[in-house]
Amino acid sequence: MKAIAGGDTLAVLAFHSISLEPGPTSIPPATFRMQIDVLAESGFVSMTSRDFLEWRDGRFAAGAPRVLITFDDGFADFATAAYPVLRRHGYSAIAFVPTGKLGQREDWRGANAARRALMDWSTVAELARSGIEFGGHGVSHADLTRLPAERRREEIAGSARDLTERLGEPPRCFAAPYGRANREAIADIAASYKAAFGTRFDRATRTCELFDVPRIEMHYFRDPRRWRDFLTGERTYFLVRRALRSVRNGARRVVDSRRPREGG
């Protein structure tokens, strides 16, 4: 367990939709319950964003093994399928939401053919009162690296402004849609948030880039044995998945670099 949640490393878990919908961003409710149950059985306690920032600065005494749980996109099933499981175990989470899309259905590039519903603001406010944190995920779920500077800044700062106005507290954290953030986007994110989480498949360390914190995509841990093994420090499957994902992402970057940029 030391290898996963010891003093210098931390597993930041990434989820999206907890549903029976097809595709890699949906995890069946039964699988999600297994993942969280195993996490609890293994003695893990959840962290908040404040805990995470203190941990990274070396000011947080972990005690029990810790984990940071995150959700992207703001799907409505977070409230109906994920939150009850988290609450049963006393777990907190950060939900990164595209503030201009709340109350609608996903409609961005890469969305499911059967459009999944997003939470509305009343649900977000209720969950916030119950201890769930909310972070920025842009206003419209746009790829920040393909936007002109003015619109990119509005996607980032506008998301923080919306959350502050609606929830009464500025968000600490951001997650770039698609995990895509270039140097300019990171500078804009740093102007409005204290940390940002990416899609690089790895454990976080105290020395990792604060505005590109790696996460563990839970799509890869649907088998209980592999999930338990990971939590107890077995690294073989994790290292294989990390290598394959790195190769795939490298190929994707080559393809993306050949596409014309939106907005000029």
Of 57-61, 75-79, 95-99, 161-165, the one with minimum mean pLDDT is 57-61
125-173 pLDDT, tens digit each: 999 999 999 999 999 999 999 999 999 999 999 999 999 999 999 999 9
What value does the mean pLDDT take over residues 1-15?
72
User: Which of the four CATH numbers 3.20.20.370, 3.90.180.10, 1.10.10.10, 3.90.45.10 does domain 2-257 have?
Assistant: 3.20.20.370
Provide, rounded to the nearest whole percent, the portion of the chain with pLDDT above 90.
87
Distance between CA atoms of 85 and 104, rounded to whole angstroms?
24
pLDDT reading at 62 higher than 70: no
Of 61-65, 150-154, 171-175, 250-254, the one with minimum mean pLDDT is 250-254
Distance between CA atoms of 33 and 18, rounded to whole angstroms?
10
Domain ranges of the chain: 2-257
Burial class (CB in 10 A: 0-12, 13-18, 19+), 46: buried
* Kind and range of the H or E run holding 226: helix 224-231
Beta bridge partners of 174: 136, 196
pLDDT reading at 261 higher than 50: no
What value does the mean pLDDT take over residues 218-234?
96
